[in-house]
Chain A
């Protein structure tokens, strides 16, 4: 379970998170929608401790992320995160990209790590690209590799930060299909996305962020068909054209 309590966060004079309260249950798929600068991506990087917070609390399986004694490296093995820019490690093959963290962070042996990598890469449809370098892959393939790389750590949660935003339109589908597959397998996921159709399809709940505040949260039907908040209504209307 991920528990977010009254989290505030500023970059200099700009307050990007103005007291967020949110709980994500095991097995849930939550999508976060909202305009640029609404704080949704920042929240994800705060959840895995890449960004510090100013006040409030975030707990993952009961461990407080920003507490002094917390071993962030250990915590991050539970929280897979995939970014808008996939950040493939260019000097490693696809296989080595996926094997690196299991070997060096979890201390898994080479043969076992290779087996894990092969399994995860096949899972995202890259079983035939194991020994090529990322520069030979399309953006969509690199993004799926990044997903496999995160999954290879067997995380309890997956955080997706606008993972299709930097892709050519014709490559968006293959990445969304991968996310749909994970959702159907029961993976706990928080997806920040601009893909409204996708959000409606896979989400258990949808949260709408606006100017650092969670303006509304509810089932996809509530948010998309009967939004209570006028800002949500305006955003939904605008994005559905």
Chain B
């Protein structure tokens, strides 16, 4: 009844290829976070503006990002836009999909963080002669990023895991894509995916521990 023979050596021989894939996974996650954070700051700014049109952009974005499957978001960034004649490579589609998701979630995190900072902080900064932009940049933003730091690391972990959805749009050189291709060649399904899971685990664990170390260095107050 259990006739499968484990062939770990075969799988381990493919480890270098999988680690190359893992680098691509990290690259996509980092890029999607960097762009996502910038977009999230802009979206949060839109939400706080009194412009109805800008508020609507943020609301729509956040609602879609948080209430539809990430798979749908990545699919739309590839096959959805292809219907209108826009063709992105699987890499770009995956990056767009994850970035869209990141920006939506992070914007909500930032909004919550801003609520935790008293208005009097910006008022005190303005009363010292700072412009609105200076007050935000030097006084409010650093405090906001501190409060939102842990949610941000969660999102980073999530971004790493979301890259696995890339196979649905034909992405084949990130960790999950590489593993899938190797599986098709060798049929060492359990060994290869178990190995991929370990690599995913190690990557996300490093991010969590790294974030904690950075936080203690960065936020001494």
**Contacting residues, chain A, for B219 (C-beta < 8 A):** 91
B221 touches A101 (CB 8 A): no
- How many residues of chain A are within 8 Å of chain B by beta carbon? 26
Tell me the residues in window 36-52 of chain A with beta carbons closer than 8 Å to chain B beta carbons: 48, 50
Whether A73 lies near B130 (C-beta < 8 A) is yes
User: Which chain B residue shows the least CB distance to A150?
Assistant: B128
Give me the interface of B with A, judged by CB distance under 8 Å: 118, 120-121, 123-131, 134, 138-139, 142-143, 146, 219-221
- The answer, among A48, A87, A100, for a CB contact under 8 Å with B120, is A87
How far, in angstroms, from A159 to B127 measured CA to CA in the complex?
11
A149 to B128, CA, bound (A): 8
Q: Are B138 and A100 in contact (CB under 8 A)?
A: yes
Q: Are B124 and A76 in contact (CB under 8 A)?
A: no
> Does B130 lie within 8 Å of A105, measured CB to CB?
yes
Q: Is A85 on the interface with B (CB-CB < 8 A)?
A: yes
Q: Are B128 and A153 in contact (CB under 8 A)?
A: yes
What is the chain A residue whose CB lies nearest that of B221? A133
Q: Is the CB of A104 within 8 A of B221?
A: no
- Please, which residue of chain B has its CB at the minimum distance from the CB of A106? B129
By Cβ-Cβ distance, the 4 closest A-B pairs, closest first, are: A87-B124, A101-B128, A133-B221, A77-B129
> Which residues on the B side are within 8 Å of A149 (C-beta)?
128
Query: A101 and B130: CB pair below 8 A?
Result: yes
CB distance from A47 to the nearest CB of B (A): 11
Kindly report which residue of chain A lies nearest to residue B139, judged by CB atoms.
Answer: A89
A169 touches B (CB below 8 Å): no
A143 to B146, CA, bound (A): 24
Q: Given that A89-B139, A90-B143, A91-B221 are known contacts, is A105 also in contact with B127, CB under 8 Å in the complex?
A: no
B123 and A50 form a contact (CB under 8 A): yes
Q: Does A33 contact B (CB under 8 A)?
A: no
Provide the bound-state CA to CA distance between A91 and B142, in Å: 7
Verify A81–B127 contact, CB threshold 8 A.
yes
- Cβ distance A75 to chain B, nearest Cβ, rounded Å: 8
Contact (Cβ within 8 A) B121 A105? no
Report if A224 contacts B (CB, 8 A).
Answer: no
In the complex, whether A83 has a CB less than 8 A from a CB of chain B is yes
5 pairs, A vs B, C-beta closer than 8 Å? A50-B127, A73-B129, A83-B127, A92-B221, A105-B130
Q: How far does the alpha carbon of A153 sit from the alpha carbon of B127 in the complex, in Å?
A: 11
Q: Which of B118, B121, B142, B221 is the most central at the interface, judged by chain A CB atoms within 10 Å of its CB?
A: B221
* Cα–Cα distance between A128 and B219 once the two chains are bound (Å): 22
Contacts of A87 in B (CB 8 A): 118, 120-121, 123-124
For B124, B130, B219, the residue with the greatest tally of chain A CB atoms inside 10 Å of its CB is B124
Contact B221 A153 (CB under 8 A): no
CB of B122 to closest CB in A, whole Å: 9
A105:B126 contact, CB within 8 angstroms: no
Task: Report which of A83, A92, A105, A135 forms a contact with B129, defined as CB distance below 8 A.
Answer: A105
Contact of B220 among A81, A83, A104, A133 (CB under 8 A): A133
Determine the residue in chain A with the shortest Cβ distance to B143: A91
Contacts of B146 on A, CB cut-off 8 Å? Answer: 91
**In the complex, what distance in Å separates the CA atom of A92 from the CA atom of B140?**
12
